[in-house]
Amino acid sequence: MRASLLRPAAAMALTLALAAVGLGPAASPAVAATVPAGAGSYSDARPAGTSGPTTNTGAPVTPKLTAAARNKPVPTNDWWSSLAYQRYGDNPYSTPMYGHPLTYQATAGGLEVGYPTTPAIVGDGRQYEYAHRADLTVGLSGLQSPDTKADDWSDWTVTPYWSDGTRTLRTTIGHGMPFVYAKGSGGDARITTAGTPTVFADNGNVLGITVAGHHYALFAPTGSDWSVSGTAITAGLGGKDYFSLAVLPSTDALATYRKYAFSFVTGSTVSWASTGSTVRATYTLTTEAKEGTERGTIQALYRHQWLHTTDALTSWTYVSPRGTMKVRESASFTTNQQSAGVLPALPASAGVDKARLTGYLNEVANASDPFSGAADTYWTGKALGRLAQLVPVADQIGQTAVRDKLLGLMKGRLQEWFTAGGASEFSYDKDWKTLTGYPASYGSDTELNDHHFHYSYYVYAAAVIAQYDQAWAADSAWGTMVKTLVRDTANPSRTDSAFPFLRGFDVYAGHSWASGHQGFAAGNNQESSSESVNLSAGLVLWGAATGDTALRDLGSYLLTTESEAITQYWFDADQQVFPGAFGHDTVGMVWGSGGAYSTWWTANPEEIHGINVLPVTGGSLHLARAKAAVKRNIAEMERENGGPAVEWRDILWEFESLADPAAAEAKWDAGNGGYTPEQGESKAHTYHWIATLDSLGAPDAAVSGDIPTSAVFTKNGVRTYAAHNYGSTARTVTFSDGKTLAVPARSTATGTGAGGGPDPEEPGPSTGNTFRLKSGGTLTTATDGAAGADTVASADGINRDGTPYRPTVYEARNVTGTLSSGAATSFRLRVDAGTVVGLAPQVRVSYDLTGNGSFDRVETFRYFATDPVAGWEEYTQAVGTKAVTGSPGNLAGGTVRLEIWNALGSAASRVQTGTEAAVLTIPYA
């Protein structure tokens, strides 16, 4: 919904070669105010009486760019957009920009730089923030520029520019960059500190200072010398035009950072690939050597990145509003994540009463106004989304007449919007290189807000139509207009002169931003992360339905990446991000400076908790990957609300069903008769969603398929596999646990899977509470079988104490037992580190009491410091627990899991299997 009070709109393309960016054929720019796009069109001038981007006083505004950047599409909705978008007429520089770990603000004299490390809790405890506060300002002696412009940018870096006629200054800054790289002429390098600095190192052209408790290193060209006078620090550049500074994680890092001081970053690029069930992304900085030959650099990785990389990290860290950032000494790193699946609808199940569902479907299809009076881009989109969710549901139960009626309604409304000259249309702004829908809403026109939110519904609805009518989706028909919306919001091309690359998606931050101008003291913001995901899910479905695998894989990368960011930064699933004093388990909005338990329009807890859930679609399944966080989220909403949801009960029931389908079903049964659906929802969809998950179980994030349009559900230890095949021939989908599913052409299939590992339908152990570790990842009570050994992966030189890292996993499912009073988990394992010292094997035992995919009790044991002695060494629970979460309880079709990993060292080890010396005993009868 409304993710930044004033929403900047985005405009569409004056048809550059769409073929060149993989989004269809080009259309020729029209001389008049209409640009053809397949069967559709958009205007190249705003409708009469409407507005484009403005300042806060309503005056028209154009991008603040240097001549060198003037022809590049400017990425509005970024972490630094206030450099280019002068929202406030009296501030021609910028508002605070949050790069992390550093923060920045442009001023007349140069670039303020800060490193906020202490959070403030504000707004009656409803917001935490690491607000920008300048430790120092980077500039040139005498610099007084009338404004700051954007001179250059890349995927997550930007170069601001200052000039006062005598002096010019450029600085390159970015996410994860502890360095600021400066190029200046017409004056000496000048650093002005907020207070008198303490010098801890003085090596001529290298100066180490401490300001406000933060350590910085200043680097001037070789042969120069820094001079300190009060709060002014200067250095002549000796005919050179470069200098740099870095915030240090500690003073002992100076020598390492000095190594990279003159390896100047010149650009940043992300690349991605979706292979099987894995999304792989590589983040690379390009550099040039100003002195010497060093081309490496230092990067700080966000939590959502370092959780998913096996690349070596140093022991240094930084503080940020997103939790700890970890330091890598390299110009690139790679992440690997299990892909987040998308389905056009939840699969058929025995739990759905077809007659009842048909009645609900008819209520929508036969309504006097299925669009509920929607006129602007946002509410029209919501209405389209509401109908789109019901099309595959109607098809699933054989209601083809309802399906086709809904498709007709959607086509008609989309075609109205996709044709210029009517009451609703899209219009391209050549200055801002964006496509805006009129009538606009929530600042989508005047502030370029929320285009990815609004247009997500159009792309998703078009994808549903394409599933049933490929001719409608052809480029010669309406596909070109859909692709133009994609180019505005999620353009995969960096060479498209009509639209910027991935306008609102911040590839390094891992999520999108909503404000087009970023004109807030707290930086940019995003409220409805779920509507951002709706666009990514729409790209997956549209790409799959139209055979555009590149666009499908882009959607998979965006969705999988943002899913982890949402899990960590909106829901704090690991409880490692929000400050302890914040006191909330979720935020409605993420800001550059922190997060807020709020929305733009209400303080009602139901909306605060629900705004990052809606719309509920087949793209929402990723939320089930953190079931404990979902349960905490619902519990907090009910505490804050003084009871269960009333206004948005359907959204929150559907959310809860992702973690606890039975509880959601009970709430639906008790309250479905007397409520009004949320405006993007319907009783038909809510009933189908809740009844299906109650029947099949919650989504199982532990397993994924080798195509993006697949998912797995688990109930009482039984897994149901589902996939939709958009292709014209049958195919077999293989899941990460080895199971396979045959899927006919252009169909959805479900089943319990064939082949692979242990059959999830086979019963668990019949007797006994002692399990042997069996190679292949099984815990079994059987006493037969050969002895063996499994490899335990290296910790790759990083301290992994307490956090499983590439663990070797053993699991028993469908376990039933009564908790034994006074008993405790015990194990006896034999491990061997060979001749290597101290690899520190560590064990975690987890109990999912009901088999719903959410572990209710987790016990992490201290590591065992192995020595290089001959043969196996014994590791037992006697080392004691390091951490315990959750409460024990009876097992009812539950899952027991043992994970073992190396907490230290740089070598692999082994763990014995298949013997009485490789056992886990659980405290159950």
pLDDT tens digits, residue range 326-337?
A: 999 999 999 999
End-to-end CA distance of the chain: 50
Note the pLDDT of residue 768.
78
Give me 170's structure tokens.
């450029």
Q: What is the pLDDT of residue 756?
A: 63
pLDDT at position 784 is 65
Catalytic one of 78, 112, 531, 856: 531
Q: Give the model's pLDDT for residue 868.
A: 66
Q: Which ranges in 616-763 belong to alpha helices (H)? A: 627-641, 649-657, 661-671, 683-696
Q: Compute the distance between CA of residue 514 and CA of residue 505 in angstroms, rounded to an integer.
A: 9
Integer Cα distance of 791 and 182 in angstroms: 48
When pLDDT is cut at 50, 70 and 90, the band that residue 853 belongs to is: confident
Band of residue 863 on the pLDDT scale cut at 50, 70, 90: very high
Q: Is 656 a catalytic residue?
A: no
Tokens read off for 74: 């400017």
Tell me: pLDDT of 763 over 70: no
Is 450 one of the catalytic residues? yes
Interval 155-179: pLDDT, tens: 999 999 999 999 999 999 999 999 9
Please say whether the beta carbons of 635 and 645 come within 8 A. no
Residue 26 has pLDDT above 70, yes or no: no
Query: Is the overall model pTM greater than 0.95, yes or no?
Result: no
Q: What is the pLDDT of residues 773-825, one digit of tens each?
A: 988 788 988 876 677 888 898 888 889 999 998 889 999 888 989 999 888 99
Write down the mean pLDDT value for the chain.
92
* Residue 49, token pair as written in the block: 């009486």
Q: How far apart are CA 812 and CA 815, in angstroms?
A: 7
Output the pLDDT for position 167.
Answer: 98
Residue of 78, 155, 496, 527 marked active site: 527
Rg of the chain over Cα atoms, rounded to whole angstroms, equals 28
Phi, psi for 182 (deg, rounded to 5)? -120, 140
Are the CB atoms for 427 and 418 separated by under 8 Å? no
What is the pLDDT at residue 149? Answer: 98
What is the dihedral angle through the alpha carbons of 465, 467, 468, 471, rounded to the nearest 10 degrees?
80
**pLDDT value for 755:** 76
Tokens of 595: 């997060």
DSSP assignment string, 560-595: HHHHHHIIIIIS-TTS-SS-TTT--S--SEEETTEE
pLDDT at 288: 98
Q: What per-residue confidence (pLDDT) applies to 376?
A: 98
pLDDT beyond 60 at 14: no
Q: What pLDDT shows up at residue 380? A: 98
Our answer to whether residue 527 is catalytic in this structure is yes
**Bridge-partner residues for 772, per DSSP?**
780, 919
SS3 per residue for 71-122: CCCCCCCCCCHHHCCCCCCCCCCCCCEECCCCEEEEECCEEEEECCCCCEEE
Query: Quick check: 600 and 527 in contact, CB under 8 A?
Result: yes
Res 30: pLDDT: 37
Q: Say which DSSP state 5 is in.
A: S
Q: Is the pLDDT of residue 22 over 70?
A: no
pLDDT value of position 35: 96
Q: How confident is the model at residue 762 (pLDDT cuts 50, 70, 90)?
A: very low
Q: Taking CA 341 as the corner, what is the angle to CA 338 and CA 344, rounded to the nearest 5 degrees? A: 175
Give the lowest-confidence range in 249-253, 730-734, 872-876: 872-876
Tokens matching residue 629: 């966080």
